[in-house]
Chains A and B, each alone.
Chain A
Amino acid sequence: GAGVSQTPSNKVTEKGKYVELRCDPISGHTALYWYRQSLGQGPEFLIYFQGTGAADDSGLPNDRFFAVRPEGSVSTLKIQRTERGDSAVYLCASSSDYLGEQYFGPGTRLTVT
């Protein structure tokens, strides 16, 4: 079946602009995760959804970052007033249940100029 998909694959934006990154999880997966990966580092947890609600948003770096999952499927990560330090690959993952391994999408490479 189809894996996790993310759009866009690349996004270049100017400092101060607003961006939205989209994640479409594997069909039927109830848990959805967002991670951020900088060069030379492992992915870093941002937020996790169980269904429609954010069960843990402790990894969001500040209030410029926000994510939603209104119907319990597709999720959007929103970044306001982007800064150059936000440049990274944003990865989305989904899993089927509390024991399930997380399957990752191809990521969105965000570049803030």
Chain B
Amino acid sequence: EDKVVQSPLSLVVHEGDTVTLNCSYEVTNFRSLLWYKQEKKAPTFLFMLTSSGIEKKSGRLSSILDKKELSSILNITATQTGDSAIYLCAVGRRSGGSNYKLTFGKGTLLTVNP
């Protein structure tokens, strides 16, 4: 059975801090790892990673995949209160033909205090 574990489950920081969120996985036929931000209902796409060691960056957020360690980290620098959300990690594997389904972790609840 596919498994995605995120840590920590929750984190409280002050504005300006840097945070690192962790995701580890066990999945057959691994295809990709995705990070989403969920503030209310809809998860919002952040990154999709398929290759080990290549950092993806968007503003203050960055992420990298380590296929040898079966893990990924999401870094947020100079945090702002608007970064407060649940960060979800998901792993995609081949399913029913050419497309794939995602298995999600429980998420990390990040709270950024002013």
In the complex, what's the smallest C-beta–C-beta distance from B36 to chain A, in angstroms? Answer: 8
Asked if B42 contacts A42 (CB within 8 A), the reply is no
Q: What is the 8 Å Cβ interface bit string for chain A, positions 86-105, against chain B (1 contact, 0 not)? A: 00010100010111011111
Indicate with 1 or 0, residue by residue over B74-112, a CB within 8 angstroms of chain A CB atoms. 000000000000001010000111111111111100000
- How many residue pairs at the A-B interface have CB separations less than 8 Å? 70
Contact call B104/A33, Cβ cutoff below 8 A: no
- The interface centre, meaning the residue of A35, A42, A59 with most chain B CB atoms within 10 A of its CB, is A42
Q: Which of B4, B42, B95 contacts A105 (CB 8 A)?
A: B42
A101-B104 contact in complex given A43-B43, A55-B99, C-beta closer than 8 Å: no
> Is the pair B90, A33 in contact by a Cβ cutoff of 8 Å?
no
Cβ of A76 under 8 Å from chain B: no
Contacts of A98 in B (CB 8 A): 98-100
Q: Is the CB of A42 within 8 A of B107?
A: yes
Residues of A within 8 A of B97 (CB): 50, 55
Report B-chain residues with C-beta under 8 Å of the C-beta of A45: 101-103
Question: B99 contacts A31, CB within 8 Å?
Answer: yes
CB <8 Å contact, B96 and A101: no
Q: Kindly name the residue among B32, B99, B106 whose own CB sees the greatest number of chain A CB atoms within 10 A.
A: B99
Q: Flag if A50 contacts B88 (CB, 8 Å).
A: no
Q: How far is the CB of B43 from chain A (nearest CB, A)?
A: 5
| 18 cross-chain CB contacts under 8 A | A4-B42, A35-B102, A41-B106, A42-B4, A42-B90, A42-B106, A43-B43, A43-B104, A45-B102, A45-B103, A48-B96, A55-B95, A56-B96, A91-B43, A99-B32, A101-B45, A103-B45, A104-B36
Q: A43-B104, A45-B101, A45-B103 are in contact. List 13 more A-B contacts (CB 8 A).
A: A33-B102, A42-B104, A42-B105, A43-B88, A43-B102, A50-B96, A50-B99, A55-B96, A55-B97, A98-B100, A101-B34, A107-B41, A107-B42
Which residues of B are in contact with A by a Cβ distance under 8 Å? 4, 32, 34, 36, 40-45, 48, 88, 90, 95-107
